[in-house]
């Protein structure tokens, strides 16, 4: 896309049409500073991993762990927890970061990490979802 132009894009999640405008910093440094769709400046960074799959891994390891507890096999219980931790560490080391907009949940893959963006903050998320009390 030519950075001097804007274009329309349709959100895959909600189907809403948005005017997509890249900031100069995105074009020049490949670093997200302003959301091209909603124009907000609040972002967080996380690993690029499917949350449902992550939850499935935790549940499977926990079920195996509980089964081993009921079988009175404590070493296998700890082994099942260790397997879950090992899978988590491997995925954490292998997967790249993504930047996510708090306001519209747009995901930016392949962008250079902006040092101004930290991990997920529930207070900021509540503010954008209208649940903040102050």
CA distance 134 to 111: 32
Is the pLDDT at 130 greater than 90? The verdict is no
Q: Give domain status of residue 88, yes or no.
A: yes
- Does 18 reside within a domain? no
What's the pLDDT score for residue 11? 66
CB 43 within 8 A of CB 114: yes
3-state secondary structure of 92: helix
* 38 assigned to some structural domain: no
Residue 87 lies in a domain: yes
Q: Could you tell me the pLDDT band of residue 133, with boundaries at 50, 70 and 90?
A: low
Residue 133 maps to a domain: no
Report the mean per-residue pLDDT for the chain: 86
What's the CA gap between 99 and 131, in Å, rounded? Answer: 22
Q: What is the pLDDT of residues 47-63, one digit of tens each?
A: 999 889 989 999 999 99
The predicted model gives 11-33 an average pLDDT of: 79
How many domains, the chain? Answer: 1
pTM for the whole structure? 0.73
Residue numbers of the domain that contains 56:
49-95
């Amino acid at each position: 896309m030519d950075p001097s132009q804007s274009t329309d894009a349709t959100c895959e999640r909600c189907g809403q049409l948005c005017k997509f405008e890249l900031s100069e910093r995105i074009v020049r440094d490949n670093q997200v500073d302003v959301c091209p769709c909603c124009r907000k400046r609040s972002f967080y960074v996380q690993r690029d991993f499917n949350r449902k799959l992550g939850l499935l891994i935790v549940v499977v390891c926990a079920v195996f762990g509980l089964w081993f507890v009921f079988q009175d096999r404590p070493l296998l219980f700890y082994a099942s927890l260790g397997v879950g931790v090992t899978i988590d560490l491997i995925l954490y080391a292998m997967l790249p970061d993504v930047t996510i907009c708090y306001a519209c949940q747009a995901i930016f893959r392949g962008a250079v990490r902006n040092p101004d963006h930290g991990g997920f903050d529930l207070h900021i998320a509540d503010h954008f979802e209208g649940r903040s009390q102050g």
